[in-house]
Amino acid sequence: MTADSFAANLLKWYNQHGRHDLPWHHNRTAYRVWVSEIMLQQTQVATVIPYYQAFMARFPDVQSLAEAPTDDVLSHWSGLGYYARARNLQKAARSVIENFGGNFPDTQEELESLTGIGRSTAAAILAQAYNKRAAILDGNVKRVLARYHAVPGWPGQTAVQNQLWEHAEAHTPNKRVRDYTQGIMDLGAMVCTRTRPACNDCPLQKGCAAYARAETSLYPGSKPKKAKPEKTTWMVILEDKDGRVLLERRPPSGIWGGLWSLPELDPAYGADELQDACERDLGFNCTEPELISGFRHTFSHYHLHIQPARLGVNGQNTVKDDSRHKWLHRHEALALGLPAPIRTLLTSPEQAALL
């Protein structure tokens, strides 16, 4: 199958089976496409749609996003994970206002100058928003091309990725590039899936090297496995006499960066030491702890075993509201940007262990 027939067959399939009515297909501005692309990184379309709609209702343009309180942005991202994406989104929005007069750039180089936008995301914005010829290479596209050309190795390796970029550039047509880029993403998501690809429904089956060899399961190559470290922490729900809980803002970088979370205590403490630990480490005289079922939360590079405990605070709070601490009623806390496990702990602690 030639490069031309690859694109032609894909477009013919897209006409009949592709997704034509996604929320970011309407009023297709660079801003709206950009937000969708960032949300779709490492997140499936079905999950993204309600978040995207709520985000657009609150931040309808780049100006409103740039000027919004960061807590507001993070609260609208809460549950999507990979929170650095939200922080980078706002940094980029502010850069568009400051450096581009509020107008989204329309060149690869200028788009890549914005925080959080790499080569493929920039190309997707060019193709989807401006209908300019630009090759994309997201996870779905990597899978399609790796199978079609039987490219061995894990796509995270530079040499493998470079081969896939060459194929992506060669197959991208000069016309209907907007439909082509959506089509190849759809094909990877709907037909050329990670497991059990529907090869009999694939418009590219005839030229697919992996299919011809009955080796679709071998492509793309898997990431070399590495055991994730295991970490443990106490998370304490400190509640004052008015029913408010203490939240603590995470550092701006790292896990859950910039989000509000619960105070943590050294996992070396035993349950019978928590009262003393709260007084010594946090400055509170507390009631005996009520232990809540622990659970494990997995991050991209380690597993965190969370053991929650609820303690009442006696007397006057020694920690006052500041930039890092807030005493809030639960309904107030839930309006902030919270990691999903923390949100569950504050609303339904018994469900947290099921996460």
pLDDT digits (tens, 9 = 90+) for 95-131: 999 999 999 999 999 999 999 999 999 999 999 999 9
Active site residues: 37
Q: Superfamily for 230-352?
A: Nucleoside Triphosphate Pyrophosphohydrolase (3.90.79.10)
Residue 49 in tokens: 């749609």
Token pair 């939240």 is found at 247
Q: Does the pLDDT of residue 152 top 80, yes or no?
A: yes
Architecture of domain 3-218: Orthogonal Bundle (1.10)
Query: Computed from CA positions of residues 276, 278, 283, 287, in that sequence, does the dihedral angle turn out positive or negative?
Result: negative
Give which of 266, 249, 259 is closest to 309, Cα–Cα: 266
φ, ψ (nearest 5 deg) of residue 180? -65, -45
Domains 3-218 and 230-352 share a fold: no
pLDDT of residue 352: 52
pLDDT tens, residue by residue, 222-240? 988 888 899 999 999 999 9
- pTM attached to this predicted model: 0.82
> Going by DSSP bridges, is the β-strand pair 325-328/303-314 parallel, antiparallel, or unpaired?
unpaired
Beta partners for 304?
231, 297
> How many of the other CB atoms lie within 10 Å of CB of 170?
14
Residues 240, 319 contacting (CB under 8 angstroms)? no
Ordered by start, the domain boundaries in the chain are 3-218, 230-352
pLDDT at 252: 86
pLDDT beyond 80 at 320:
no
Cα separation, 108 vs 226, in Å, equals 35
